[in-house]
Amino acid sequence: MRNIPGQIYLWCAVIIFGAANSVTRKLTEIGASNFVNGENPVSLCNVLFVGNICALWVLVIIYGKQLQLRRLRKFSQQQWLYMSITSIMSGAIAPALIFQALAITNVNNVVLIGRLEPPLTLAVSIWLLQERVNFGEILGALVAFIGVFLTISLPNSWENMMVMQDIFSFGAGEIFTAIASIFLAFSTVISKAKLDNIPLGIYSIYRTALGTVIFFFAALYFYGSHHFMEVFSPFLWQWMLIYGPVIVVVGQSCWLTGLRTTSISQASLIASFTPVTAVIAAYLILRETPTLAQYIGGTVIFIGIIISQLGIYHKNKISTAITTSNGIKKNQKIESKIGFKGI
């Protein structure tokens, strides 16, 4: 295992993360064919809630040793506040919006529109942190933003394109995904600015735990207690005990292992292929063929990603390597390029 290059671990993680949304949609379709007491046991809310519980269980096993009282007491009230804010945004609000979007629009739209997150993160970093970026990063972000706009606004077929029909006809699913990207972008910037000294394990556990609790009570308030009636269904748990560990244990473990032995530019480049693997997964798992708008928008987004990578490569080539003691800064920097990972 030690002889395996770090890039292989990163590619495995990107494939898993790219397939996550398609797997989520497929699980809900399986649940719809196996109703329990007239309800879908594998509803999106149940998948998010139980998936997070499985994720939290695995995170505690992996990082539980970091949960020491003396360590937690060292955190300031401001750090706890910022951890709570980012946990609610990235652990509750954004996933809930993404899952709601998956329920009403196709996976490819969610994946491609989710690419709003990296350029938004860059823009917010420049605005709030005065982060220095080069022309290539800015140009790449703008091109990717245009690609997302084309994905949302263009018609889905050549016939509609020729008669200028269905232009700017995006729906609620696209709006939910865009709003989720905004929350994730602000969460990433706050984490980078205020939580550099928080160990990755503690941050991950707290974010997952608080996000799960907030989501649960918000769902109870908006949908009622009956919404989680089948949360203890054996049919649901048998799938979640596979889904959660694969996404969390295998995906996150491969990701973190790869990050330790690769540079930021290498990890960033590999992470940029997440939307490509996601589109391929949507076709293989759901037989979801990209539309005209998704082909055009996705191509423009990929061009933007390439331009951004060239800018990042140039910046890393002329700057000194930056390392941190706990690795959270590097992980969060690259995480913003992946987007939502399915849990």
> Which residue intervals of 106-171 are DSSP H helices?
107-113, 117-129, 135-153, 158-162
Q: How many domains does the chain have?
A: 1
Residue 252 placed within a domain: yes
Q: Greater confidence, 249 or 176?
A: 176
Residue 178 placed within a domain: yes
Residue 143 placed within a domain: yes
Residue 219 placed within a domain: yes
Q: Which of 64-73, 99-108, 204-213, 318-327 has the lowest mean pLDDT?
A: 318-327
Residue 343 placed within a domain: no
Q: What is the mean pLDDT of residues 132-151?
A: 88
Summarised one tens digit per residue, pLDDT across range 159-168 is 665 555 556 5
Q: What is the mean pLDDT of residues 95-124?
A: 89
pTM, two decimal places:
0.83
Residue 342 placed within a domain: no
Residue numbers of the domain that contains 97: 6-337
Residue 1 placed within a domain: no
Residue 82 placed within a domain: yes
Distinct helix (H) and strand (E) counts, the chain: 17, 0
